[in-house]
Amino acid sequence: MTLLLLALAPIIIVILYIYFNDTYEKEPKRILFYNFLLGAIVSIIVTTLIYYAFDIVLPLTEHHSVYQQFLKAFVVVGFTEEFSKYIIVRYYAQPNKEFNEQFDGIVYAVMVSMGFAATENIFYVLESGYQTAMLRAFTAIPAHATFGILMGYFVGKAKFSNHQSLLNIAGLLLAILFHGAYDFFLFIDFIPGIWVGAFISLAIAIFLSKKAIKRHQNQSKFKI
């Protein structure tokens, strides 16, 4: 039970942070929960199926190959996981009538991302214990949150733009870029000290995420 709470605690903190930053017109809790649930179940299923497909069409066998680890980070993991979240945000959240300002893109994308991260984190923490729970609370969970914010920033802009497809895809690609960069530096751990790159990419993503939140807050049509 303690491990489960440790796995979920950082998820809850991120959700509350985004919820209370939705300053001017909060989303219905029921819709937020649905997005979280879809991320926790549907996105995980989609990810698993695509992983199986990649194992067949793009088998990666050489651990010490920078090229293969690049493909694994950006194509297999980055694309698969962010695409599995994107389809929920794009086809369930974005068309919803409650999605009525740009900041909502961030809110819903983070809810889906945290749903995905919750399922993933529970498996990792229950398998590996307290040390993994503490490590992921300050690394993987904030990373998933930033990927969601960056995707959601553009999905929010897309909802109210004449260039909806272009902006939606931009959000997906940006999430893949930062997800892939974060994982790539961790995957090539056979190069001494290279793991620092993961935290640099995460720091940049956090910086951009804060700017994205502030910008959509300032542009809210509900701001008095």
pLDDT digit string, tens, across residues 78-103: 999 999 999 999 999 999 999 999 99
Give yes or no for residue 116 having a pLDDT over 80.
yes
With CA atoms as reference, report the closest residue to 17 among 210, 224, 223, 169. Answer: 210
**How sure is the predictor about 34, in pLDDT bands with cuts at 50, 70 and 90?**
very high
- Alpha carbon distances (Å) from 180 to 45, 108, 129: 20, 22, 26
Q: Spell out the residues 6+ positions from residue 221 whose beta carbon is closer than 8 angstroms to its own.
A: 101
Spatial contact of 138 and 99, defined as CB atoms under 8 Å apart: no
Domains in the chain: boundaries: 2-218
Tens digit of pLDDT for each residue in 179-222?
A: 999 999 999 999 999 999 999 999 999 999 999 999 999 988 88
Average pLDDT over residues 140-163: 97
d(CA 90, CA 205): 21
Q: Is the dihedral of CA 54, 139, 92, 169 positive or negative?
A: negative
Place of tokens 């793991």: 195
Mean pLDDT, the chain, rounded, equals 95
Length of the chain: 224
